[in-house]
Structure 1
Amino acid sequence: MGLPSFMVLPLLVLTAAGVYYIYNQVMQFMSKSLVKNKVVVITDAVSGVGIECAHLFHKGGARLVLCGNTWDKLESLYDSLTNNADPRETFAPKLVILDFSDTDSMEDVVGEMLECYGYVDVLICNSSMKLKAPVQSVSLELDRNIMDINYFGPSTLAKGVLPSMISRRSGHILLVNSIQGRLAVPFRSSYAASKHAAQAFFDCLRAEVEEYGVTVSTVSHTFINVSEPPAAAEPAPPQNALLAFLASQLTHGVRPPVLANEIMQTVNRKRKEVVLAHPIPRVALYLRSLFPPFLFAVLAAGVKDSVLAEQMQ
């Protein structure tokens, strides 16, 4: 006797949910085994995303080289990783001072990284300087500082570790980028420009080193949301419905643990490009390519709307 028709859909949903759960559990188990004993360098390891990545890769048994511009924060992260850790399953991280704004120090930093274990399996370029301001108010000095941190720093570091990866015919370079490396929004001119430059550099690098067995990945995300959900506010004055919806979508960022997990999965699966964003930013990417005049009109209208301009991230 067959199942009643009204039970078929719930059973299919439960089956799909079960398969998805088992798949996630298997992938999490594989994630730990795939990074075990790998030499993984994480820049800006003392940031929210860097800390989450450090914990994930450390639990997976990776040989970590953690970079940051503050020794006290690096030592604090070291303590949080090594306290109560099983030395039979994990390695004590190596610490390296790295300041992307000091481009003259990059050669010495690369040498110090390579001295830790003699080579690098995975380089995770995670650093970012953000700026929200009208174009006419941003100085040339600030433009250059943003470019140093968001573009010249990661690209110089990638060039530094590349020769050893090519000689070993193995390696993975991953750029943690912003979706604004693919889609620029108002009041983010310098930031978006630096992210566009970094995206282009790593796209070119990917094609150039593929024949040597070196993987290059980019993970483009919306803004990182480290805040707690806001309390209910007073009702706002009525505004354009489309712009209000866009503004609500732009307040949804990605949590550091979610981004860190995506980074690990990208390393394990050797994916070349990942976009971690909600549907509205994804649609905007397609509009930028297929219907740019429409997107430009929406963005221009948004600048005139004070609520959307304030929420634009």
Structure 2
Amino acid sequence: MTLPSVAVLPLLVVVAAGVYYIYNEVMRYMSKSLVKNKVVVITDAVSGVGTECAHLFHKGGARLILCGASWDKLESLYDSLTNDADPRETFAPKLVILDFSDMDSVEEMVSEVVECYGCVDVLICNSSVKLKAPVQSVSLELDRNIMDINYFGPSSLAKGVLPTMICRRSGHIVLVTSIHGRLAVPFRSSYTASKHAAQAFFDCLRAEVEEYGILVSTVSHTFINTSEPLPVKESAPKANTLSAFIASQLTHGVRPSILANEIMQTVNRKKKEVVLAHPVPRVALLLRSSSHPSSSPCSLLE
């Protein structure tokens, strides 16, 4: 007995929806099982993205080392993670004060991070400071502070955990960065320069440590949108739909929960480079790369 042609399309839709649901459930289960018992370090864990990552990895059974500049905020995060947690399924996080604006003490703090468990399986470099200002108004001291937090701090921490990863011939380092590491934007000279430096460092690091079985990933995103979503209102159609769409893409940003989930998937699926952005920034990246063909690695080796 054959199905009437009218019923084929709805049936395919139902089957596709069922497959998609099962796939999501399997990936959700694997997300937890893949990080279970892994030693995971999260810098700036008290930020919006850091907190979301902490909750995801903690639920997955990871042995967390949470780093931040404020002990009170770290303790508050610790309480929110452990209050309702099942001690048979999760580990109590370890807390480490880590302030990249104080580079003189970074070496000691990095040693403390490594000594928590003696090794690190996953390092998530999430620390960042932003600045929007004309070039002439930014002091050299502020330039250096931004470079310390956005570049020297993450690179120093990566160097600090590398020896144990090389000895064990395994590990994953994730740099949570910005598309400003790939695009030059006016009035963000210091911030963009620090992100370009970090992007280049971790790209080079990826090539250097691949032979040891160590993976290095970069997750590039647009600005973090921590505002509450506005209620949906019905409105009359706008005259210029295209311009309205472009404006919305420029202002949406990425929510911390979405970015944290992408970081989890990057770790689980061992992705190397992830760009989490709306179409307009993606087009800008494409145009930049196509207009600078001589900057590609292949052309430099010719």
Query: Structure 1 length normalisation: TM-score?
Result: 0.87
Written as runs of structure 1 = structure 2, the 5 A alignment for 1:1-313 is 1-230=1-230, 245-291=245-291
State the Cα distance separating 1:265 from its structure 2 match.
0.9
Distance 1:253 1:108 in 2: 36
Deviates more, 1:98-107 or 1:244-253: 244-253
State the Cα distance separating 1:3 from its structure 2 match.
3.5
Unaligned segments of structure 1, at least 5 residues = 233-237, 293-313
Matched residue of 1:193: which SS?
helix
Distance 1:277 1:4 in 2: 43
Distance 2:148 2:183 in 1: 20
Distance 2:179 2:160 in 1: 26
State the Cα distance separating 1:30 from its structure 2 match.
0.6
Amino acid at match of 1:163: P
Identity of aligned residues (%): 83
Amino acid at match of 1:140: L
Distance 2:27 2:277 in 1: 21
State the Cα distance separating 1:122 from its structure 2 match.
0.6
Deviates more, 1:259-268 or 1:12-21: 12-21
Matched residue of 1:61: which SS?
coil
Distance 2:173 2:191 in 1: 22
Distance 1:149 1:156 in 2: 10
Cα distance change of structure 1 residues 150 and 240 upon mapping to structure 2, 3 Å threshold: farther
Matched residue of 2:177: which SS?
strand
Unaligned segments of structure 2, at least 5 residues = 233-237, 293-302
Deviates more, 1:184-193 or 1:24-33: 184-193
State the Cα distance separating 1:242 from its structure 2 match.
7.0
State the Cα distance separating 1:19 from its structure 2 match.
1.5
Per-residue CA shift, 1:207-228, capped at 9, x if unaligned?
0000001110111111111102
Distance 1:183 1:135 in 2: 17
Distance 1:71 1:108 in 2: 17
Distance 1:231 1:268 in 2: 34
Distance 1:77 1:123 in 2: 19
Distance 1:118 1:171 in 2: 13
Amino acid at match of 1:121: D
Distance 1:211 1:205 in 2: 11
Distance 1:132 1:225 in 2: 16
Length, aligned pairs only:
289
Amino acid at match of 1:161: V
The match for 1:310 is none
Matched residue of 1:104: which SS?
helix
Query: Structure 2 length normalisation: TM-score?
Result: 0.90
Distance 1:267 1:162 in 2: 17
The match for 2:299 is none
Amino acid at match of 1:206: R
Cα distance change of structure 1 residues 137 and 13 upon mapping to structure 2, 3 Å threshold: farther
Cα distance change of structure 1 residues 72 and 20 upon mapping to structure 2, 3 Å threshold: same
State the Cα distance separating 1:2 from its structure 2 match.
3.7
Per-residue CA shift, 1:212-269, capped at 9, x if unaligned?
011101111111111023589xxxxx99987665433110111111111111111111
Distance 1:134 1:9 in 2: 57
Matched residue of 2:50: which SS?
helix
Amino acid at match of 1:62: A
Amino acid at match of 1:226: T
